[in-house]
Structure 1
Amino acid sequence: MALTVRTDDELEQALTALAEAEGTSRQEVIRRAVLERYERSGHAGRVEESSARLIDRWGDVLHRLGTV
């Protein structure tokens, strides 16, 4: 599948520098960046859901510990 990405001078320089440093293509740099961002966003959602469950379950204890 093909995709066109519009870039400016700053992005061109960054892509070229990263590709050279990693010994890979500019396309691979973009691919990795998107997948990394996707994974992080999923992780943040899981952490948020887990935190909400724990606060719901232990919120009263946490509140008491904070006011002692």
Structure 2
Amino acid sequence: MAMTLRLTPDQDRALTLLAEAQGSSKHEAVIRAIVTAANRLINDATVAQLARDVIPGHAAMEARIRQARG
């Protein structure tokens, strides 16, 4: 599926830096960023659910973790 990605000049510079750091094209850097973000969200949701299921009083711990992440 084709799609157009419209970026501000600052976003384009950030994407260029990311692609250069990865040694990849901008296209590949975008795809990697999408997959990484999706994995992080899914993993965070899985860990949060495990905490709710397993750890009593997880709410305070989860709040401290989120605060530490900034």
TM-score, scaled to structure 1: 0.74
- When Rg is computed on C-alpha atoms for both structures, the one with the higher figure is 1
Q: How many aligned positions are there?
A: 57
Deviates more, 1:37-46 or 1:19-28: 19-28
Matched residue, 1:34: 34
* Backbone CA RMSD of aligned residues: 1.5
**In structure 1, what is the equivalent of residue 47 of structure 2?**
47
Query: CA offset at residue 21 of structure 1?
Result: 2.5
After the TM superposition, which residues 15-30 of structure 1 pair with which residues of structure 2 at under 5 Å, given as runs?
Answer: 15-30=15-30
What is the rounded CA distance, in whole Å, between the counterparts of 2:19 and 2:28 in structure 1? 8
The residue identity in structure 1 corresponding to 2:30 is I
SS at match of 1:3: coil
Q: Does 1:6 align with 2:6?
A: yes
- Secondary structure of the 2:34 match is helix
TM-score, normalised via structure 2 length: 0.72
The residue matched to 1:6 in structure 2 has which SS? coil
Distance 2:3 2:27 in 1: 10
Aligned residue identity for 2:34: V
- Structure 1 gap segments, 5+ residues each: 61-68
SS in 2 for 1:40: helix
Structure 2 regions of 5+ residues with no counterpart? 58-70
Q: Give the % identical residues.
A: 33
